[in-house]
Structure formats: C-alpha cells, structure tokens
Chain A
C-alpha cells in the first residue's frame, strides 16, 4: 500500500500499469482519477489545494488499512496532489486490487468517499470573478453513512 501526497503531476498510465503488475494474485484492479473541471460560476483559471502535512498521510493510511481489512484488498494506492493545478490536470488517483471486482470497486468507492470528507485537503477555485474556497457538500458527508451502516 502506498500513499503519495505531492505537488508534481503523476503519470496515470504508468502508475496504473505498475500497480496492476505488482498486485500478485489479483483478479481485479480498479482505478479512479479526479480531474480539475470547469466551475459552475466564472471561468476557472486554476485550482489551489492546501493540505495538512502529517495528518494527510496518516488519515489516508488509516482509510487504506480499513479498506484492506474490510474488502481483503491485495493492494491499494492513493496519489493526491496539492499546490496550484490547471484546468484538466489530474488531481488524484486511487487504485485497488482484489481477487474479485466487487471488492475492488467497493473499496475504491469507500476510499473516494473518505478522501473527500476525511482527508485534510481544501480546494480553492481561482476564477475570473476571484478566488473562493470550495464548500463541502452535504451529499459528500451523507455518502459516508452508507459505509458505517452496513
């Protein structure tokens, strides 16, 4: 299991291929990539992502441990960038490897839901109209309850 919190871009293809090749015994590998998208208001010039060094790595590692135990993952990978990102740039990726696809898909969704609301990152959108912190969505918080209920 690997967590990388970095300013540098990452090579999605190379990371996915390397992850899959190293996941011995896996029958399923799922990857998800988050990308800087246009905003609803004003033309996006850039996105700035702030994080809490130390807590970020620790919080993500804890989520990955939980996912591994719950879905019997063979391996997991989280790469999350911070700093200034341009429109269309990859922000982060998650990869999970398991014996079967249901576990790999579910674990990836679990990690995404937790990364959104429990990993200490904050996004700021820089648009023509100015700079604004992205507000957390209630739906993102609600998404966590399904993992707690079952």
Chain B
C-alpha cells in the first residue's frame, strides 16, 4: 500500500487530499497510468505530466523513478513559494 497525496489544483481536480492505494506499479509513470485509468477526474488531473511535479517520501523525483520501498507519493503543480 502506498499513501498518495495531492496538493493545490491536483487535489481540487481529483477531489481528495490523500488516499491509500494498493498498487504494484514499478515506477511513478506506471502509478499515474493506473490512477488515470480509474476515473475521468484522475485522467484530467494527470493529462499533462509536464505541468506536474512528484515527490517520493518527501523528496522531489521524476516520473521514471522506481517505487520500490516508497511509502508516500505526492503529486502537485510547480511550487510557488516565497
């Protein structure tokens, strides 16, 4: 089981801040494909990966990163702090 977190407009589009996902996905990209296949709201949120960022266990990663051993995946738009 992986904890999947969503922030900002990704959270709004999917309609929840976090969920537990039972997934055998090997990479982030595979997880995105699994989620996108679920429902339109996921497919809409993940339509353009270039406009998204991903963090694995609270460190920025890329979409080809492996998920082995990862407990927490977060998807969000580019950050706008400061």
Contact = CB atoms under 8 A, between A and B. Distances in A.
Interface in A42-88: 50-52, 54-55, 58-59, 80
A122 interface: yes
A119 to B, nearest CB: 4
A141 B9 CA distance: 20
Q: How large is the interface on A (under 10, 10 to 19, 20 to 34, 35 or more residues)?
A: 20 to 34
Contacts, number: 69
Interface residues of B, number: 17
A122 B80 contact: yes
Nearest to A133: B9
Nearest to A49: B81
Interface in A94-146: 112, 115-124, 133-136, 141
Interface of B: 5, 7-9, 11, 55, 58-60, 74, 76-82
Interface of A: 34, 50-52, 54-55, 58-59, 80, 91-92, 112, 115-124, 133-136, 141
